[in-house]
């Protein structure tokens, strides 16, 4: 029986049932029920099909039904070439066209040798609602029809298969997004959310990321294990999230690593600018509004807020206030601190999963240039589960960059570069810059020579700095010897400052 015939037959039967409902009241109850039972049997005998309807909107829900959308994707991928009339949906973000079955179109599908008929339709209400969430009041639906002898396989296996396939297509074709809470021009957003977004397209991958291959493999495995450990996290009673702390000097690839993570796991990225968040309540709202399969990033956490030991600082402030009560200063201070009231404990709550438990599968990544400045509570294991140091370029890192930038796996100059890299601190960003050809004529060898020159210059600069440093120290020690009263103090001060300087330059 063809699809059209089935539909016609269904309509005739529905009409007959309607007429019977009118006539039934003229029959005694018992007789009426008997007739109805036989009538149903007759219908079933001649119409041995089951139908399942999937509506676009369920009840008064604002969002389209997920099942309807999955079916739409499944049918547009699997059956559109067989449907004669197609509907084009232009996706604003993707700037591409997605085809799906037009209204009142019919297609067939086959599953394990079973034939399944799909039709798309819509019902238009007689009276338009004065207020309705849905732009047009037409209610679309898909209807699945199959022989009733396949009822179990269709309802228990086939429908799930269609939903899974539809969702897989969505994952494959979806464009990942980069969200930010500090609104910028040309970013998409709406009033319902504090996030605005653009399409996330960053070329960094674990292949292009230059770092010690062993360390890289370990991180890669860690990420892949995380992404497939849903059941494990459930079993041990932890929310399915993992914190990464990336620390190291500027230009060592922390941001590149985050982009590579997002590309590897196919996650969206939420770039959280803490200084733009008013208070803990807003922080909670933002976090609840993030989706699963995402990375929440707080870059330069040490600069974001005073999260570097507020408890200690507060004590000091209280002492100052006691020693020197000054209402004007108090007012000024309050104004200055108005910027963001997000507190360390607000952030800790979030990381611990209190406010994020509603979602799942999320990475939280902090980056910093000064790991030593952070409050230990913020980065203890369990909150920031994995601490990754991104450091200066070593020979292994250089080899990855040479392969990526110059397509070179070995060269006579590699040995010199290896030796210089051991003697000098240079970031992968600076090495990469030297390796990039500056003109069409520049070949790989001249790029390598350029790098050697930069390394030698950096080495010489470091040597001169060290000599200057030593000279200042000697002078102060000399002055200390001459001075009788405050000599020791001067040496002490000089030593303190030189310590902090050297730790800065280490960074």
Ligand X SMILES: Nc1ncnc2c1ncn2[C@@H]1O[C@H](COP(=O)(O)OP(=O)(O)OP(=O)(O)O)[C@@H](O)[C@H]1O
Contact in structure between 440 and 421 (CB atoms under 8 Å): no
Listing DSSP states for 249-287 in one string gives STTSSHHHHHHHHHHHHT-EEEE--GGG--SHHHHHHHH
Q: Decide if residue 252 touches ligand X (CB under 6 A).
A: yes
Nearest to 455 by CA among 391, 393, 411: 393
Q: Which lies closer to ligand X via its Cβ, residue 253 or residue 480?
A: 253
- Is the C-alpha dihedral spanning 256, 259, 265, 266 positive or negative? negative
Query: Nearest approach, Cβ of 427 to Mg ion (angstroms)?
Result: 11
Give the interface size with ligand X as a residue count (CB under 6 A): 16
**What is the C-alpha separation between 242 and 238, in angstroms, rounded?**
10
Q: Decide if residue 255 touches Mg ion (CB under 5 A).
A: yes
The site string for ligand X over 93-112 (x = CB under 6 A, - otherwise) reads --------------------
Q: How far is CA 243 from CA 208, 219, 378, in A?
A: 23, 12, 11
For the segment 101-160, give every residue that binds ligand X (CB under 6 A): none
- For Mg ion, the nearest residue by Cβ is 255
- For ligand X, the nearest residue by Cβ is 253
Query: Nearest approach, Cβ of 241 to ligand X (angstroms)?
Result: 22
- Partner touching 250 among ligand X, Mg ion, none, CB below 5 to 8 Å by kind: ligand X
Query: Nearest approach, Cβ of 274 to Mg ion (angstroms)?
Result: 15
Query: Nearest approach, Cβ of 430 to ligand X (angstroms)?
Result: 8
Query: Nearest approach, Cβ of 254 to ligand X (angstroms)?
Result: 3
DSSP state of 158: I
Q: Coil, strand or helix: which one is 227?
A: helix
- Partner touching 75 among ligand X, Mg ion, none, CB below 5 to 8 Å by kind: none
- Partner touching 77 among Mg ion, ligand X, none, CB below 5 to 8 Å by kind: none
For the segment 225-254, give every residue that binds Mg ion (CB under 5 A): 254
Q: Which lies closer to ligand X via its Cβ, residue 208 or residue 294?
A: 208
Query: Nearest approach, Cβ of 351 to ligand X (angstroms)?
Result: 21
Instruction: Convert 453-467 into a string of H (helix), E (strand) and C (coil).
Output: HHHHHHHHHHHHHHH
For the segment 421-450, give every residue that binds ligand X (CB under 6 A): 428-429, 432
Strands 268-271 and 177-180: parallel
Q: Which residues contact 454 (CB under 8 A, 6 or more apart)?
A: 426, 430, 434
Q: Which lies closer to Mg ion via its Cβ, residue 101 or residue 384?
A: 384
Query: Nearest approach, Cβ of 334 to ligand X (angstroms)?
Result: 32
- Partner touching 150 among Mg ion, ligand X, none, CB below 5 to 8 Å by kind: none
Residues in the chain: 507
**What is the C-alpha separation between 2 and 117, in angstroms, rounded?**
9
Q: Decide if residue 253 touches ligand X (CB under 6 A).
A: yes
For the segment 207-236, give every residue that binds ligand X (CB under 6 A): 208-211
Of 113-121, 136-144, 244-252, 343-351, the window that binds ligand X (rule: CB under 6 A) is 244-252
Contact in structure between 362 and 356 (CB atoms under 8 Å): yes
Of 203-211, 309-317, 355-363, 470-478, the window that binds ligand X (rule: CB under 6 A) is 203-211
The number of C-alpha atoms within 13 Å of 22 and in the hemisphere containing its C-beta is 5
Q: How far is CA 96 from CA 69, 167, 188, in A?
A: 17, 19, 17
Query: Nearest approach, Cβ of 326 to ligand X (angstroms)?
Result: 38
Q: Decide if residue 204 touches Mg ion (CB under 5 A).
A: no
Of 5-13, 153-161, 249-257, 445-453, the window that binds ligand X (rule: CB under 6 A) is 249-257
Give the interface size with Mg ion as a residue count (CB under 5 A): 2
The site string for ligand X over 255-274 (x = CB under 6 A, - otherwise) reads xx------------------
Q: Which lies closer to ligand X via its Cβ, residue 307 or residue 371?
A: 371
Q: Coil, strand or helix: which one is 399?
A: helix
CA angle in degrees (0–180, nearest 5) for 374-318-500: 35
Query: Nearest approach, Cβ of 215 to Mg ion (angstroms)?
Result: 18
Contact in structure between 166 and 74 (CB atoms under 8 Å): yes
Q: Which lies closer to ligand X via its Cβ, residue 389 or residue 443?
A: 389
Max intra-chain CA distance, the chain: 125
Q: Decide if residue 43 touches ligand X (CB under 6 A).
A: no
For the segment 358-417, give every residue that binds ligand X (CB under 6 A): 369, 390
Alpha helices in 324-409 (DSSP H): 327-336, 344-351, 376-379, 395-406
Of 20-28, 253-261, 325-333, 451-459, the window that binds ligand X (rule: CB under 6 A) is 253-261
- Partner touching 252 among Mg ion, ligand X, none, CB below 5 to 8 Å by kind: ligand X
DSSP state of 69: H
Alpha helices in 269-360 (DSSP H): 280-288, 301-304, 310-323, 327-336, 344-351
Binding residues vs ligand X (CB under 6 A) = 208-211, 250-256, 369, 390, 428-429, 432
Binding residues vs Mg ion (CB under 5 A) = 254-255
């Amino acid at each position: 029986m063809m699809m059209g015939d089935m539909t016609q037959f269904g309509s005739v039967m529905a009409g007959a049932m309607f007429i019977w409902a009118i006539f039934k009241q003229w029959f005694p109850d018992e007789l009426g029920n008997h007739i109805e039972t036989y009538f149903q049997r007759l219908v079933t005998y001649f119409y041995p099909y089951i139908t399942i309807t999937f509506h676009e909107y369920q009840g008064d829900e604002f969002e389209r039904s997920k099942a309807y959308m999955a079916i739409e994707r499944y049918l547009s991928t699997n059956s559109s070439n067989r449907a004669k009339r197609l509907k084009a949906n232009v996706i604003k973000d993707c700037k591409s066209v997605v085809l799906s079955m037009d209204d009142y179109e019919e297609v067939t599908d086959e599953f394990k040798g079973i034939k399944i008929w799909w039709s798309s339709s819509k019902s238009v209400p007689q009276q338009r609602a004065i207020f309705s969430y849905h732009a047009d009041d037409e209610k679309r639906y898909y209807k699945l029809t199959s022989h009733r002898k396949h009822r179990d396989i269709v309802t228990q296996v086939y429908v799930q298969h269609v939903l899974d396939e539809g969702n897989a297509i969505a994952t494959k074709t979806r464009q990942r997004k980069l969200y930010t809470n500090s609104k910028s021009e040309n970013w998409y957003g709406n009033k319902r959310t504090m996030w605005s977004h653009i399409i996330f397209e960053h070329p960094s991958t674990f292949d292009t990321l230059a770092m010690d291959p062993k360390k890289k493999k370990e991180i890669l495995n860690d990420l892949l294990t995380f992404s497939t450990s849903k059941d494990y996290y459930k079993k041990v009673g932890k929310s399915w999230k993992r914190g990464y702390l990336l620390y190291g000097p500027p230009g060592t690839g922390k941001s590149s690593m985050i982009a590579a993570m997002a590309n590897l796991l196919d996650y969206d990225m939420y770039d959280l600018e803490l200084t733009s968040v008013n208070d803990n309540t807003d922080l909670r709202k933002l976090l609840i509004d993030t989706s699963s399969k995402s990375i929440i990033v707080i870059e330069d956490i040490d600069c974001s807020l005073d999260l570097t030991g507020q408890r200690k600082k507060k004590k000091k402030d209280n002492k100052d206030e006691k020693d020197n009560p000054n209402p004007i200063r108090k007012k000024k201070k309050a104004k200055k601190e108005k910027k963001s009231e997000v507190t360390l404990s607000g952030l800790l709550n979030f990381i611990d999963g209190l406010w994020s438990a509603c979602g799942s599968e999320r990475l939280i990544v902090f980056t910093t240039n000064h790991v030593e400045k952070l409050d230990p509570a913020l980065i203890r294991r369990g909150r920031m589960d994995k601490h990754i140091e991104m450091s200066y370029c070593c020979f292994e890192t250089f080899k990855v960059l040479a392969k990526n930038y110059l397509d070179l796996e070995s060269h006579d100059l590699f040995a010199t570069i290896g030796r210089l890299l051991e003697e000098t601190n240079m970031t992968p960003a600076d090495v990469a810059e030297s390796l990039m050809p500056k003109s069409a004529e520049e070949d790989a060898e001249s790029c390598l020579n350029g790098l050697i020159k930069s390394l030698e210059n950096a080495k010489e600069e470091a040597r001169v700095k060290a000599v200057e440093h030593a000279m200042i120290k000697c002078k102060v020690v000399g002055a200390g010897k001459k001075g009788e009263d405050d000599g020791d103090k001067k040496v002490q001060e000089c030593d303190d400052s030189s310590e902090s300087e050297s730790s800065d330059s280490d960074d």
